[in-house]
Chains A and B, each alone.
Chain A
């Protein structure tokens, strides 16, 4: 089937099987391997991408459902030149070790901060509770997201 959507600002058209889920389409067809597959049944959150502003599990969404949508993956969060303020805060607070959950953490946190730039630590923990991380213990991730709030608050003004 022919499906048209935008990925990180660029229009793309793919010919795919109707059963192909969005994460496999991003990884195998478009070769955007930043979106990771941990469990493929919605438990781990590593495949989270942003579809029309909402954080979505790409392993639970069919590619055909994305027809006409605008998708942001981890590759679209920053330019080649500089990390985004959220990414910079992750690095400063050592909010990643092996890096496998990081794309899902970043996309989930980016969607949250875009909607709610004034979130408190409890709300951040609740929003990230669908993203599993085995390395960090979550403390540094929450600290990084708290610090990145300032950039999103500025964007809104």
Chain B
């Protein structure tokens, strides 16, 4: 009886919001149990070293330390297979439309408009679907313009905290839109639904590079690295075609 259910296709508010909004959501860090132990994960301070052996005697001698667990204690980790191809009969999502401009003085890119149009087959909850589209879009834009994993010559991550690794904030991308269509129902299940979640993350990096390349076409720019940081964009708009020589 497709089309007669009053919940499928209507915005439905989430039940879990009631506890999250009151500060009663339980995250792992909130749990407190009797005799609870705390664990800390230690990584090698050398990025590409080969670990020959781990001597835990000093750690075990510290007061309060109950156990030190190393790879030797875990044994063989099974391979988890990945499914890399889409199911036959499902349609790929299509690409968003974008417009970008850049500040010729600083290389800062302003997103003038960004419209994501997804054909998601049948929409179950438009409220949460829209949240996924907008949220995924901004996460993609963060990867395209802000988020820079900087490593030193030894392979150590230098941007390992939220002060050094810039994720988007509320002021970064206000001019974005998302709409969803229901043109192609999925043939693989009776409801005709597909999964949809943060889909716009995937194409945004390439699209933004194309948009910036287009805006800088008169300089012959060919962006070939993300993020498109102000330094890189400025570099390309001062006559350097790519960003390869900048690092």
Q: Which residues of A contact B (CB under 8 A)?
A: 27, 31-39, 41, 43-44, 73-75, 77-78, 83, 87, 90-92, 94, 96-97, 99-100, 102-103, 106, 121, 124-126, 128-142
Q: Which of B19-37 contact A (CB under 8 A)?
A: 20-27, 29-30, 32
Inter-chain contact A125/B174, CB cutoff 8 Å: yes
A91 CB → nearest B CB, Å: 5
A142 and chain B: residue at smallest CB distance: B170
For the complex, count residues of B whose C-beta is within 8 A of A. Answer: 37
Inter-chain contact B167/A129, CB cutoff 8 Å: no
**Residues of chain A with a CB closer than 8 A to B167's CB:** 132, 134
What string of 1s and 0s marks CB contacts (under 8 Å) between B29-53 and chain A?
1101000000000000000000000
Given A43-B162, A94-B127, A99-B16, do A87 and B134 touch, yes or no (CB 8 Å)?
Answer: no
B130 and chain A: residue at smallest CB distance: A94
**Residues of chain A with a CB closer than 8 A to B27's CB:** 33, 36, 100
**Residues of chain A with a CB closer than 8 A to B170's CB:** 124-126, 128-129, 131, 133, 138, 141-142
Q: Which residues of B contact A (CB under 8 A)?
A: 13-14, 16-18, 20-27, 29-30, 32, 127-128, 130-131, 134-139, 161-163, 167-171, 173-174, 176
Inter-chain contact A39/B162, CB cutoff 8 Å: yes
Inter-chain contact A34/B134, CB cutoff 8 Å: no
Inter-chain contact A90/B139, CB cutoff 8 Å: no
Inter-chain contact A140/B131, CB cutoff 8 Å: yes
**Residues of chain A with a CB closer than 8 A to B32's CB:** 31
Ordered nearest first, which 3 A-B pairs have the shortest CB separation?
A34-B23, A99-B20, A137-B138
Inter-chain contact B173/A137, CB cutoff 8 Å: yes
B171 touches which one: A102, A126, A141 (CB < 8 A)?
A126
13 additional A-B residue pairs with CB within 8 Å, beyond A74-B21, A135-B131: A36-B29, A43-B163, A90-B21, A94-B127, A97-B135, A128-B170, A131-B170, A133-B170, A134-B167, A136-B131, A138-B170, A138-B174, A142-B174
